[in-house]
Amino acid sequence: MAFDGFSDQTLSRRAMQAELLDAETELRLAYAWRDERDEAALHRLITAYMRLAISMAAKFKRYGAPMNDLVQEAGLGLMKAADKFDPDRGVRFSTYAVWWIKASIQDYVMRNWSMVRTGSTSSQKSLFFNMRRVQARLEREAASRGERLDRQTMRQMISKEVGVPLHDVEMMEGRLAGSDFSLNATQSTEDEGRQWIDALEDDSARADETVTHNKDIDTLRIWLVEAMGNLNDRERFIVRERKLRDQPRTLESLGTELGLSKERVRQLEAAAFGKMRKQLENQCAEVHNFLS
């Protein structure tokens, strides 16, 4: 069920016009979807409870997300609930769907709150959606007693109130205190001010590093070709088929083609690698002696 292109008012109006399901009809539709995968029953069930999804989505508008996106996520949560709902448990679908709708919306809000991942553990989610409310209540209660709480005391009280570690409170406080800034924003108010992105260090390889790296790769390629040249035809064939193909062949398939046992092919492969390793070590030793 997609909602792109519809205004908030249109979505709300359509949801309010949907039928209200009694318990018996709801149960029948749930069985039809679970047992027969009746898509018409699923559509009717979801349509009937979109008003619930929209109502819950509206409660999260204060986090700055577009209402249409929140409704989309609420609808996804509703469909997940319908797919996982077990009518044999004797619970109304609306009661079961509330958890899935809320979880889907919360995940969306946290994913889009910041480019930096805010957190996904249960304690971090609890903090994200309750920290400001709890802090405001604690401040009101302290003010009524004529007290003023310092930041550390407030963090400790929030930690105890929400039931999360103190370091989670400190982390979330920092994430909620600021917002993301564009790297294309200027560092000053001047028209020609340098952008923040210009101040970032270029982590790409320098030209001299690139040349050296490419030269090393070319040298290694030459050494490998020479090492392969010291192998006999059968050993080269095994190394090529085992290591130089996009989809390396198995020892068993090579054994069948060569008329050898799988173990014998493994032994030939090991011997070939031993010859190549010795050749490469000699090359490295020559370079080391030359540089010394």
Give pLDDT tens digits for 96-133: 999 999 888 888 877 776 544 445 566 666 667 677 77
Q: Return d(Cα 221, Cα 34) in angstroms, integer.
A: 60
More confident residue, 231 or 210: 231
Output the pLDDT for position 35: 92
Q: Return d(Cα 103, Cα 269) in angstroms, integer.
A: 54
Q: Return d(Cα 161, Cα 127) in angstroms, integer.
A: 10
Q: What fold characterizes domain 207-291? A: Arc Repressor Mutant, subunit A (1.10.10)
Q: Please state which of the ranges 59-63, 74-78, 130-134, 262-266 shows the lowest mean pLDDT.
A: 130-134
Q: Return d(Cα 176, Cα 131) in angstroms, integer.
A: 9
Are the beta carbons of 29 and 41 closer than 8 angstroms? yes
More confident residue, 199 or 236: 236
Summarize the confidence of residues 161-190 as an average pLDDT. Answer: 64
Q: Return d(Cα 230, Cα 276) in angstroms, integer.
A: 8
Q: Specify the DSSP class assigned to residue 292.
A: -
More confident residue, 209 or 225: 225
**Mean pLDDT (the chain, rounded):** 79
> Domain-by-domain residue ranges, the chain?
8-113, 122-177, 207-291
Summarize the confidence of residues 160-173 as an average pLDDT. Answer: 77
What confidence tier does 5 reach under pLDDT thresholds 50, 70, 90? Answer: very low
pLDDT at 137 over 50: yes
- Which two tokens mark 252? 């068993």
- Choices 1.10.287.1400, 1.10.150.120, 3.40.1280.10, 1.20.120.1810: CATH for 8-113: 1.20.120.1810
- Which two tokens mark 105? 């919306």
SS3 of residue 17 by DSSP? coil
pTM for the structure as a whole: 0.44
Summarize the confidence of residues 47-56 as an average pLDDT. Answer: 90
- Which two tokens mark 205? 């390889």
CA atoms within 13 A on the CB side of 41: 16
Q: Return d(Cα 24, Cα 21) in angstroms, integer.
A: 8
pLDDT at 32 over 90: yes
Are the beta carbons of 48 and 20 closer than 8 angstroms? yes
Phi and psi dihedrals of 77, rounded to 5? -65, -40
- Which two tokens mark 261? 């046992």
Amino acid at 116: V
pLDDT at 184 over 60: no
Summarize the confidence of residues 211-217 as an average pLDDT. Answer: 79
Q: Please state which of the ranges 30-34, 60-64, 173-177 shows the lowest mean pLDDT.
A: 173-177
Output the pLDDT for position 113: 61
Output the pLDDT for position 202: 58
> Beta-carbon neighbour count of residue 158 at 10 Å?
23
Summarize the confidence of residues 5-22 as an average pLDDT. Answer: 68
Output the pLDDT for position 2: 44
Continuous H helices in the chain: 8-16, 23-36, 39-48, 50-58, 67-84, 93-113, 122-144, 151-162, 166-177, 207-229, 233-243, 251-258, 262-291
